[in-house]
Amino acid sequence: MIAGGEAKIGDDAAWLKTIQQKAAAVLLIGESATEFSQRLSAIGYTDYEIVKTMSSAVKRATEIAPKYSAQVVLLSPACASFDQYPNFEQRGDDFRNLCLELLSAD
């Protein structure tokens, strides 16, 4: 799973519990990466990496997915996009385009 961006105020307990139960690994991007890494550590979740950018996250996801037998890489940022993108649509478009580039490279 790829998460991060510009942190929002709110209760993330349910989101963190779902990560703990279902995510094989979390790749953290954006200015909230360190904060989220601390939140994940606090609940005992250790399969995360700070990778900073979407491009780095997608590349790293392709490297670690086989280790976890992961069939899907989920973009679930839980944050605003404004630290790296003008809006959430462009963040989503960037994720999609990076994935499509990987598929066309194969």
SS3 28: strand
| CATH number assigned to the domain with residue range 2-105, chosen from the 4 options 3.90.190.20, 3.30.420.130, 3.40.50.150, 3.20.20.100 | 3.90.190.20
For the chain, the domains span 2-105
Whether residue 43 has pLDDT greater than 70: yes
Contact present, 29 and 53 (Cβ < 8 Å)? yes
Question: Which residues on neighbouring strands pair with residue 27, listed in sequence order?
Answer: 2, 49
CA-based nearest residue to 1, from 104, 82, 16, 83:
16
Nearest 5 degrees, angle CA 26-CA 46-CA 7? Answer: 50
Q: Please report, rounded to a whole number, the percentage of residues in the chain having pLDDT higher than 90.
A: 83
pTM of the model: 0.91
